Amino acid sequence: MNKEQLHQIRADFPILTEKIYNKDLIYFDNGATSQKPRCVVEKIEQGYYRYNANIHRGVHYLSQKATEEHEAARTTVAEFLHAGKREEIIFTRGTTEAINLVAFSFGEAFCKAGDEIVISVLEHHSNIVPWQMLCERKDLKLQVIPMNENGELDLEVYKSLLNDRTRIVSVAHLSNVLGTVNPVKEMIRLAHEKDIPVLIDGAQAVPHIPVDVEDLDVDFYVFSAHKIYGPTGIGVLYGKDIWLNKMPPYQGGGEMIQTVTFEKTTYNVLPFKFEAGTPDYIGSTGLAEALRYVQNIGLENIAAHEHELLSYGTERLLEIEGMRIIGTANEKSSVISFLVGKIHPYDIGMLLDKLGIAVRTGHHCAQPLMDSLKIPGTVRASFAFYNTKEEIDLFVTALKRVVAMLS
């Protein structure tokens, strides 16, 4: 991206002109949530102001219009992910609910005592705890893929963990802590050689790199709208219909039924079987608008720009005495986690905030990963396509000042 394109993009995000403690905002916490372009907020506003009505049930115009917009959003998501069938797109409250849905429903249908679930040491708590709960409920064993010193998964150990007791593999596409881009296509291929399905947590990947679920041949793929410039409270589960059709509903209520009597309930077809109750039919249109916005810029362009930011940011940070970059994988995207000497990450984050710079500090919802690294947490700078090298320069200057104060 050239400076003019970047200027135009930044103009779409009003929050980037905000002052924090009288300082220009530098937002480097995109791994936690992204900022929203005007078009997304305007789409949400339009929905509430012009055609707000409950969907799928009304014969009146507003209900029909809201239904059309919601289902068009489902089609947009399917096309964005290159899914073969729009019915394979399930709307959820976010990545966390999508993983819980699969853990519960897949577990009910396919898991029995003594079976095993494979995850990795890199996982967010959202891709650990639901599987632990399933293991406790069904007496299963949780197996964990370790990593090397660079933060890359050990594929030889992974291969050894796959056996006739393995029921599912669930791993992150991109680590929210280290930025490691996992070789998920190869991992899926290896699992499929033993007829083991795979879930990929794409929460961190979808905003930064192109995703093609059919090319990956992935069984389940999940992500959240708020990480890709869309609204909070809505996410996506892509699932192959051969699995979803065999899985029981996750929740009961309206919309997910075909018939209800006091003796028996029959369930709706996909995708509605997994969408009990009134869905976030406004949020879905906001998500679709965000995806269109990203597609107009081009994920290839986004990935190239963010790779420049990652390389430049890493180079600049290494100027600081005592700097330790946590996670140095060959395939990496958009995230730099670091420590400086013996300074606590929280102290760095607090002082940077006073200078108008938003970073994340702590364990980043990945306590087992921190335990494996034998550290309490890190400072994390995570980039988006609206960030600039000039912001990185200001960040490094501020960080040097903070380190000098705390040393």
For the annotated catalytic residues, the residue numbers are 365
Task: Please list the residues that pair with 326 across neighbouring strands.
Answer: 337
Spatial separation of the C-alpha atoms in residues 304 and 324, rounded to whole Å: 25
Burial class (CB in 10 A: 0-12, 13-18, 19+), 269: exposed
**Tell me, what DSSP letter sits at residue 181?**
B
Spatial separation of the C-alpha atoms in residues 302 and 367, rounded to whole Å: 30
CB atoms within 10 A of CB 330: 8
Task: Please list the residues that pair with 24 across neighbouring strands.
Answer: 19
Strands 141-145 and 26-27: unpaired
Residue 307 φ then ψ, to 5°: -65, -40
HEC secondary structure over 40-82: HHHHHHHHHHHCCCCCCCCCCHHHHHHHHHHHHHHHHHHHHHC
